[in-house]
Structure 1
């Protein structure tokens, strides 16, 4: 085969290859149709916990407003969600009181970058009006909202949020005491207990859920942490059952509790009454006990829940309250003394080098008045041209000035302003008298 034929054969083969490739490639429209639909990366938590997971059910707020659970309450927000019902005799009041501490700690952030939601599991009874009264009992305002809705849709929410257990929640009004906190945008969700330390809960909701991806600056080392003391059973009972509503004494900066202060309550109330009140407060309120009724009315009609503790636990609890009251008295006394030392000294107690007493002021005013009278007399005499009178008055003024100067020397080495004025007046009058002598008579 000649060189010319081989080149022609190669060109034909190359042309056939190009034609085959072009015919096999789909057109732009066909390529667009055959392109697989874009899917979100399932490894991203925000895609797993988005609108495709949360039921977008309708709820009604305590203000009567209609909202959608995902679109209006959860999407793109940091939230805390729990389930309660207002007729609950024990757990729900404690849970709400504990979370009210978190609400106070977070302050103005609630409703802006942190949102708190409580949803009733008893929508047949808990109308928006009932929820409003419940919020007022715990002094809950803007930012923390309560909702009602349809019972079957609320049950669906509880199951989706992992706060419903079939084996446990056989009674419709029995509910899981856990709550859930999360950041829908980042997909980070945590199941928490509302009875944890309120400052820890506030930190988790207000800080960790916002910037958990950013490295935290650690200034303290774990090995430097102080050793935790062992709590007595009485203190443990107080922290878990009583601290949500009560405090013993008052420390600056602590959150306000909805119940009465228990400082010295063992001295103010009879022991038997306290024991029964702790064991069965609901029964005493039904019996219209006068002290129990008075407390109920005085503290915003907030009923004390039945703590379900036995006689031995009541005794340990009262022992702790009595011991803690004595300790807090000493703490508050020390704080009061420290606060007094930090207060600035009042103006009335300051020492001024130029302070003038009332008696000194009266004496100075008398001397000044006498000097003014003398000055007026001297002026009249000078105007009349009486040389002898002027000289006599001048000598009199000079003597008065000398007497005043001598009187002030023992009390102060530095002449007072009024003394200087009197001395200057006398000197001026003496000069006037001397000039009057020098004037020739007609």
Structure 2
């Protein structure tokens, strides 16, 4: 060993060496604590929240401390993007598998505490079939606003006018390491699951993957604009392959042929307006699918046409509707979205 430190160790006896090591360790611990405290109890408010089971929780002590979490803000009466956000996170939940509730925890916090009581939140969670690792929380309005601001999810201009005009992003992070990231709720579910289950876990639970081989790589897949839109906006709730797989909404294979074209365009464009008008078919679909409203995805007329074209093309490529898929004769089984 060479250098100033080695010189000191050579001349000092063992007590001095032990003292030096203790000092170095204590200094390292102090630096680590100072570095992480910025995102610890000194930063996050320890406000009281209530979950869907009526249990009282403290935000820092019970919700995020020493945990890997994903946090977003919703309200259950939302007929815009909230249902799609929740459905997308449900896909992430499924991708995490047994890590959900063990290594990773989800929290959806209501921004409408007057309406979203624990009972309402519990019913909302049941509609999506969420698991025990995902809690829905409510609290005082001023505390919820404080949390939005501390988590970087407060939309200053919009929410100052209408508190419900909220961010559709979510925060993912590991409180113990101080690593936090803002992500879109509509990121690829597998990417979010890998971030939460592996990266933020310091790869303790990394899945074994074979060594990359360019020769064996899949060919590049080209998506049409409509297919891309369907994948990022519609796929959280629907399939379009005739599989009859369980989703928030039903499979949509053949829906273009079974629905009136004008009705279908409007249903995709402004489903919230049609529900407010109590369109008979829209209301029938709403009641059939656990009263989860089709969200307004903010698609342009061109994007609506692209999605319809994609669904129509899938139906023309030889796919067949399975026996478990909705029949064309049942007017309330296949929504036009």
TM-score category, normalised to shorter length: 0.7 to 0.9
Mapped partners of 1:242, 1:99: distance in 2: 13
Task: After superposition, give the CA deviation of every residue in 1:38-92 in whole Å (9 maximum; x if it has no partner).
Answer: 9721576533322122111110111111111111111111111111112222121
Residue 231 (structure 2) aligns with: 239
- 1:166-193 deviation digits (Å, cap 9, x = unpaired): 2443221122221111111222222111
For residues 166 and 275 of structure 1, the distance between their equivalents in structure 2, rounded to whole angstroms, comes to 33
* Alignment partner, residue 23 of structure 2: none
Q: Which residue of 2 aligns with 1:299?
A: 289
Question: Which is helix-richer, 1 or 2?
Answer: 1
Quote the Cα distance in structure 2 between the aligned partners of 1:173 and 1:228.
41
Equivalent of 1:41 in 24, 28, 31: 31
2:264 pairs, out of 274, 290, 293, with 274
**CA distance 1:37–1:210, change in 2 (3 Å):** closer
Alignment of 1:156-195 (within 5 A): 156-170=146-160, 171-195=162-186
Greater RCO structure (CA 8 Å; 6+ sep)? 2
Q: Distance in 1 between matches of 2:198 and 2:321?
A: 31
Q: Does the 8 Å contact 2:82/2:295 carry over to 1? A: no
TM-score, normalised via structure 2 length: 0.78
Secondary structure of the structure 2 residue equivalent to 1:300: coil
Residue of structure 2 aligned with 1:54, choices 36, 44, 66: 44
The aligned residue for residue 198 of structure 1 is 189
Task: Mark the runs of 5 or more structure 1 residues left unpaired by the alignment.
Answer: 1-35, 333-442
Query: Structure 2: how far apart are the matches of 1:273 and 1:96?
Result: 26
Task: Give deviations 1:70-116, integer Å, cap 9, x for gaps.
Answer: 11111111111111112222121111111111122223332222111
Cα distance in structure 1, aligned partners of 2:140 and 2:102: 27
The answer to whether the 8 A contact 1:42-1:48 is kept is no
- Find the counterpart in structure 1 of residue 131 from structure 2: 141
Q: 2:50 touches 2:56 (CA, 8 Å); kept in 1?
A: yes
* Residue of structure 2 aligned with 1:262, choices 252, 263, 278: 252
> Which position in structure 2 is the counterpart of 1:95?
85
C-alpha distance in structure 1 between counterparts of 2:261 and 2:131, whole Å: 37
Instruction: Return the offset for 1:219.
Output: 3.5
Matched, 1:229 2:221: yes
Change beyond 3 A, Cα 1:215–1:301: closer
State the SS of the aligned residue for 2:102.
coil
Report 1:25-40 matches (<5 A).
40=30
Q: Name 1:325's counterpart in structure 2.
A: 315
Change (3 A) 1:81 1:215: closer
Give SS of 1:210's match: coil
Q: Is the 8 A contact 2:253 2:315 kept in 1?
A: yes
CA deviations over 1:373-412 (Å, ceiling 9, x no partner): xxxxxxxxxxxxxxxxxxxxxxxxxxxxxxxxxxxxxxxx
* Distance in 2 between residues matched to 1:131 and 1:215, nearest whole Å: 33
Q: Output the CA distance in 2 between the equivalents of 1:166 and 1:292.
A: 34
Residue 137 of structure 1: CA displacement?
1.9
Instruction: Tell me which structure has the larger Cα radius of gyration.
Output: 1
What is the CA-CA distance between 1:165 and the residue it aligns to?
3.9
Structure 2 unaligned regions, length at least 5: 1-25, 323-337
Distance change >3 Å, CA 103–CA 328, structure 1 → 2:
farther
* C-alpha distance in 2 between matches for 1:73 and 1:328: 49
Aligned pair in 2 of structure 1 residues 266, 50: CA closer, same or farther (>3 Å)? same
Q: TM-score normalized by structure 1?
A: 0.61
Distance in 2 separating the partners of 1:105 and 1:138: 15
| Counterpart secondary structure, 1:107 | helix
CA-based RMSD: 2.9
- SS of corresponding position for 2:145: helix
* Contact 1:246/1:262 (8 A) holds in 2: yes
Deviation, 1:331, is 11
1:117 shift after superposition = 0.4
Asked whether the equivalents of residues 242 and 320 of structure 2 are also in contact (C-alpha less than 8 Å), the reply is no
Q: How many residues in Structure 1 have an aligned counterpart in Structure 2?
A: 296
Q: Partners in 2 of 1:49 and 1:242 — Cα distance?
A: 35
8 Å CA contact 1:248–1:328 kept in 2: the answer is: no
